Structure 1
C-alpha cells in the first residue's frame, strides 16, 4: 500500500483533532525527505496551523523554518524573496479572515530576517500586523497570554524592532515613509497609555531614520544577483559581521549608523566610507521632510511625549534645524 501524501496525512490529523510531537517529526520527514518544500506543502502547513489543534512546542520551530525554506533558501537566486512568493505568504495568512497568529507572524519574521532581499510591502505587512494587534489587543501569543489593548509592552517593542531592522530583508535598513506613518498611527493610538519606555526610543530613532534618509547595504537586484552567485556566496560577503553591524547601528543613533558603516571590513570598506560620508550630509532634514513632520505631528493637535523625544533626537543629531521645525523645537525642553 502506497504511503499517503503529506496532504492526506494532514487531513487525517485535522480530522482526528490531535497532533503530537511524533507527528511533527513525521511532517518534517515529509517536507525534507526530498530536500525541497513546495508551495502546496506550505499551504498544507498553514491549513494545519489554523485548524485549532493543540500543538506541541516543536511545531512552532518547524513551521517558520519550513516557510523560510520555501521562500528564502529554495528561491532562485537563493535568499531573494520574489513579489509573487511574498503575495503568496500574505495570502496564506489572510485567507481565513482571522487575526494573524503569533506563529504566522514568526514565519514572516523568519523570512524577513533570513532573506537577503524581500519586497518592501512584506515588511510593511508585518509592521501593520503588530500595530493592529497592539491597538486591538487581539492576537494571543504561544504561551496563551493576551495583549493589553492600546498598550505597547516590551514584547511588542521587541517585535517591532525585529520587523524594522530585519536584516537585509527589504534591500536596506532605511525606514520608509509608509513605515513611519504606521509608527505615527500607533503612537497616536497609544499616546495616553502606560507604554514600555523602550517604545519612545524606538519610535524616535525609527522616524529619525526615515527623516534623515539613512540607507544601508543595498542588496543587488534579482537580475544582477543571478549573474553574481560567486560574490554572494563568498566567505567575506554580505553576511560577514552583519549582527555586529546592526547592533552598532541601532545602539548609537545616527552617529552609530555612520560608525557602523565606517567599521565595515573589505569588500565593503570603500563603500562603507562613502556611505558614512553620505549619511553625514543626509543628517540634514530637508524642507519636504520637515513639512511632513510638522503636518504629521500636528494631525491630532497634541505634541506627545514620544514626539518630543523625536524632536530632541533630531536636534541632537542633525547639524542644522530646518526653519519649519523651529516652532516645534521651541516647545521641547
Structure 2
C-alpha cells in the first residue's frame, strides 16, 4: 500500500498501515478530491482487507461526497454521476462499495435517486451472475431492502420509477428461480408504494411500508387464491395493512383547501403517466409473473377506481 509515493513498510501491521493512511487523508481535517481518488485506486487495486481499512474508505468518501462538498448534506446530480463513474470504472462493484452507497444515502439529507437505482442494480447484477445461479436469497432481499431504506431514510418518500424499473428487471430475470419468499414481500410492497406515490397519497415512511413484520400474522383468502401457501398469505394481509394505513392517513384530511385541490390535480396527471408506465412494464417480457399477478389482483380487490390500462391487464391475467 502506497501513500503519495511513500511505501508503507510491508512488515507493518495492517492497523498501523491504515492509521498512517488515515493521518494522511485527514492531515488538514478534511478530505479532498485527490485523497478520494487515491482511496478509490487502493480499493480497486489492493482492497481493504481489514475492518479499519473499510471503515476509513467508507468514512472518507462519505465525508467528501455528502458532508464536505457544498451544500453540506446534499449530494448533487453531478457528484452522483461522478461517484457512479468511479465505482463502476472497472466494471465490478463490490459489497464494500454498495455499503458505501448505503452509508452516503443514510448520512445525507438528500441524494439523487440515481444512487439508489445504481446500488439496487449492482446487487441485482451480483445475484444474477453469482454462484447461486440467479436465485434471490433472503440475504439478497435484505441488501435490497437496506438500500431502499437508506434512500428514503425516515422521510415519507415513495418508491421511484427508477427503483421500480430495477426491481421489475430483477423479477423478470429470476422468474423461474426458487427465490426466498421475502423477495415477493419486498417486490409487491415496493411497487404498491410506487403506485400510491403516483396517486398523491400521503405516504408512510419507507421503513414502515417495506417492513418485514407486517406479513407475519396473515390470514388466508383473497389474493392467497393465487398461490395457496404461506407466501400468498404474506402477500395478501401485509399489503392490505399498508394500503389501509395509507387510506386512513388520507381520509383524516380536513376540508380541501386550494393547495390540496392543486396537489390532487397534479397527482392525477402523474397518475396517468405512471400507471401507463406500469401497465407497459408488467408483462413486458411476454409473461405476467406470479408476483405481478398478485399485485394486479390485490389492486382489483382494494382499489375500485383502478386505472383502465391496469383493468385490461387484470382481465388478461385472470
Confirm or deny that 1:158 pairs with 2:163. Answer: no
Confirm or deny that 1:7 pairs with 2:1. Answer: no
Secondary structure class of the residue paired with 1:206: helix
Confirm or deny that 1:188 pairs with 2:135. Answer: no
How far is 1:316 from its partner?
5.0
1:250 alignment counterpart: 210
Residue 20 of structure 1 is aligned with which of 14, 21, 27? 14
Mapped to 2, the partners of 1:30 and 1:76 lie a distance apart of 23
Mapped to 2, the partners of 1:332 and 1:284 lie a distance apart of 26
Secondary structure class of the residue paired with 1:166: helix
Query: Which moves more between the two structures, 53-62 or 282-291?
Result: 282-291
Residue 279 of structure 2 is aligned with which of 286, 294, 305? 294
Partners of 1:82 and 1:118 within 8 A in 2: yes
How far is 1:81 from its partner?
0.8
Give the length in aligned residue pairs.
277
Please give the per-residue CA displacement for 1:15-74, whole angstroms capped at 9, x wherever unaligned: 959871221222222233432011211111111112235611222222212111111121
Residue 131 of structure 1 is aligned with which of 107, 110, 124? 124
Confirm or deny that 1:311 pairs with 2:296. Answer: yes
Partners of 1:152 and 1:199 within 8 A in 2: yes
Query: Which moves more between the two structures, 110-119 or 156-165?
Result: 156-165
Gap runs ≥5 in structure 2? 212-240, 253-258
Q: What TM-score comes out, normalization by structure 1 length?
A: 0.70
Q: CA RMSD in A?
A: 3.6
Mapped to 1, the partners of 2:128 and 2:51 lie a distance apart of 28
Partners of 2:120 and 2:144 within 8 A in 1: yes
Residue 79 of structure 2 is aligned with which of 85, 89, 97? 85
- After TM superposition, the structure 1 = structure 2 runs for residues 227-266 of structure 1, keeping only pairs within 5 Å, are 245-251=205-211, 253-257=242-246
Residue 57 of structure 2 is aligned with which of 54, 60, 63? 63
Partners of 1:116 and 1:168 within 8 A in 2: no
Mapped to 2, the partners of 1:208 and 1:186 lie a distance apart of 17
Confirm or deny that 1:99 pairs with 2:92. Answer: yes
Mapped to 1, the partners of 2:279 and 2:85 lie a distance apart of 36
Q: 1:296 to 1:98 in 2, by over 3 A?
A: closer
Q: What TM-score comes out, normalization by structure 2 length?
A: 0.73
Partners of 1:164 and 1:173 within 8 A in 2: no
Mapped to 1, the partners of 2:11 and 2:245 lie a distance apart of 51
Secondary structure class of the residue paired with 1:300: coil
1:143 alignment counterpart: none
